C-alpha cells in the first residue's frame, strides 16, 4: 500500500476502489504502517500525527502541505518523528519527491547550516534496494519434512516498508496462488501483523497479511531471518501453543534469510492466536517448539 501511495502516486480514493473498501479504511491502514515505522521515534503532537502521516504519503493539498511544514518548523518532537518516518520511507520516493523536513541535511537546509533546536536526525534508514514482486514459495509439509545482516531495528523497518508495499502490489494485481485461489477475484485485506523474533531466536522480522478472495481466506508472508540455518526446514503454522498448532506448510528460506510465502487459510484460522515460523529438523508433523518469528492474529 505504501508503494502504491508514494511511488505510484495513488490517492486514498483510487486505492479504495482497487481494494473495494472506503477511503477512510485505506487511510487508516496506511497510518497504521506509518505508526509502525515511527514507533521508536518518540511521540509527535497528537493533533498533528495524522496530518504529518498524510504529508509523508503525499496526500495533502498544497495549502495544507505548507501548514504542516510550518508546524514542523515550530515543533521539535513532531519534526523528529517526521524525519524518522520519512527517512524510513526514503527508498519509495521518486527523485526530488521526498517531503521536506526542516533541518534535514540535503533536504531544505544549506550545507553546514545549524539544525533547529530539539531536532535529531534519524540514525538509521531503511535499506535501499529495489522491490521485487512477491512470489508464492510455500510447499505442503507432507512433501519434505551466512551472511550477517544489518541491525535488528533497521532490518525490521526495511521489512515493513518492503513487505507492505510488496503485498499491496500483489493484491492490486489480483495475483493468487495458482490452482488454489480464484485469481479473478480481488483480495480484500483484513489485517496485517508484524512478525517479531521469539525468545532467543536472534534478530529478524517481517509482516503477515491476511485477506479474503471471495469467501476464502489467504495469508501473505514476507520475512527475513538474519541467521538462516542450513540443513533444517522452516515451517509456517497457525499457532496457539507448541502442542496446539496447525501446519500451513514448509517455506523456502534463501541464502540471505529471505522468506516469501502465500498460503490458503482454513475457515477457522481466526480461532488461532498467532502466525508462527519455526525451525524443524525432522519429519515429525508436530511443532518442534523452536519458534523463530511470530505475529499475533488478534489484539
CA–CA gap between residue 69 and residue 99 (Å, rounded) = 9
Q: Residue 222, Cα to own-chain centre: how many angstroms?
A: 8
Q: pLDDT value at position 67? A: 93
Q: Which range marks the domain in which residue 85 is found?
A: 2-92
User: CB-based burial of residue 288 (10 Å sphere; 0-12 exposed, 13-18 middle, 19+ buried)?
Assistant: middle
Q: Which of 293, 119, 108, 267 is nearest to 208 (CA)?
A: 293
Last-in-domain residue among 77, 92, 107: 92
Contact 195, 207 (CB under 8 A): yes
Of 1-10, 32-41, 74-83, 243-252, which gets the smallest average pLDDT? 32-41
- Grid coordinates standing for 223? 520475512
Give a yes or no: residue 269 inside a domain. yes
Tell me how far apart the alpha carbons of residues 228 and 11 are, in angstroms, rounded to a whole number: 38
- Asked if residue 198 and residue 80 are part of one domain, the reply reads no
Total structural domains within the chain:
2
The answer to whether residue 84 sits within a structural domain is yes
Of the three residues 42, 68, 92, the one that is the final residue of a domain is 92
143-159 mean pLDDT: 47
Q: Are residues 51 and 182 in the same domain?
A: no
pLDDT, tens digit, 9 for 90 and up, residues 194-247: 888 888 767 778 888 888 888 889 998 888 886 666 678 889 999 999 899 999
Q: Is residue 203 part of a domain?
A: yes
* Mean pLDDT of all residues in 52-79: 91
- Domain contains 115: no
Residue 235 lies in a domain: yes
Please tell me which residue, 174 or 30, carries the higher pLDDT value. 30
| pLDDT of the residue at 117 | 39
Last residue of a domain, one of 92, 108, 134: 92
**Residue 195 CA to its chain's centroid (Å):** 9
Say what the pLDDT of residue 66 is. 93
Together in a domain, 174 and 261: yes
The x, y and z cell numbers of residue 74, run together, are 515550530
For the range 56-60, what are the long-range contacts, defined as Cβ-Cβ under 8 Å and sequence gap of 24 or more? Answer: 56/82, 56/85, 56/86, 56/89, 56/99, 57/2, 57/5, 57/6, 57/30, 58/5, 58/6, 58/9, 58/97, 58/99, 59/5, 59/11, 59/12, 59/27
% of the chain at pLDDT higher than 90:
18
Whether pLDDT at 124 is above 50: no
From residue 179, how far is each of 183, 201, 252 by CA, in Å?
Answer: 9, 35, 20
User: Please, what is the average pLDDT of the chain?
Assistant: 74
Domain harbouring 192, CATH code: 2.60.40
| Backbone angle region of 202, left / alpha / beta, with phi > 0 → left and psi within -120 to 50 → alpha | left
Residues 168 and 61 in one domain: no
Do residues 160 and 88 both lie within one domain?
A: no
pLDDT of 167 over the 80 cut: no
Give yes or no for residue 172 having a pLDDT over 50: no
Q: What residues contact residue 256 under an 8 Å CB cut-off, 6+ apart?
A: 146, 147, 149, 224, 228
**Alpha carbons 149 and 119: distance in angstroms, whole number:** 29
Amino acid at each position: 500500500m505504501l508503494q502504491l501511495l508514494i511511488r505510484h502516486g495513488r490517492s486514498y480514493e483510487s486505492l479504495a476502489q482497487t481494494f473495494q473498501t472506503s477511503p477512510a479504511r485505506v487511510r487508516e491502514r496506511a497510518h497504521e504502517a506509518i505508526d509502525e515505522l515511527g514507533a521508536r521515534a518518540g511521540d509527535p503532537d497528537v493533533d498533528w500525527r495524522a496530518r504529518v502521516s498524510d504529508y509523508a504519503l503525499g496526500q495533502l493539498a498544497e495549502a495544507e502541505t505548507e501548514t504542516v511544514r510550518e508546524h514542523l518548523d515550530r515543533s521539535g518532537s513532531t519534526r523528529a518523528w517526521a524525519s524518522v518516518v520519512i527517512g524510513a520511507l526514503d527508498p519509495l520516493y521518486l527523485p526530488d519527491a521526498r517531503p521536506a523536513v526542516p533541518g534535514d541535511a540535503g533536504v531544505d537546509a544549506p550545507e553546514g547550516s545549524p539544525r533547529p533546536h530539539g531536532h535529531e536526525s534519524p540514525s538509521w534508514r531503511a535499506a535501499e534496494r529495489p522491490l521485487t514482486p512477491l512470489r508464492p514459495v510455500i510447499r505442503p509439509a507432507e512433501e519434505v519434512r551466512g551472511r550477517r545482516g544489518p541491525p535488528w531495528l533497521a532490518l525490521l523497518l526495511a521489512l515493513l516498508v518492503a513487505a507492505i508495499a510488496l503485498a499491496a502490489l500483489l493484491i492490486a494485481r489480483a495475483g493468487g496462488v495458482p490452482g488454489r485461489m480464484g485469481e479473478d477475484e480481488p483480495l480484500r485485506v483484513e489485517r496485517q501483523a508484524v512478525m517479531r523474533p521469539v525468545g532467543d531466536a536472534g534478530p529478524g522480522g517481517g509482516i503477515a497479511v491476511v485477506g479474503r478472495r471471495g469467501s476464502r481466506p489467504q495469508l501473505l508472508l514476507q520475512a527475513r531471518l538474519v541467521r538462516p540455518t542450513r540443513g533444517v526446514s522452516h515451517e509456517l503454522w497457525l499457532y496457539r501453543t507448541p502442542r496446539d498448532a496447525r501446519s500451513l506448510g514448509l517455506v523456502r528460506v534463501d541464502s540471505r534469510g529471505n522468506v516469501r510465502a502465500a498460503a490458503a487459510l482454513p475457515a477457522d484460522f481466526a480461532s488461532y492466536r498467532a502466525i508462527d515460523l519455526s525451525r524443524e529438523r525432522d519429519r515429525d508433523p508436530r511443532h518442534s517448539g523452536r519458534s523463530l518469528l511470530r505475529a499475533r492474529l488478534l489484539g
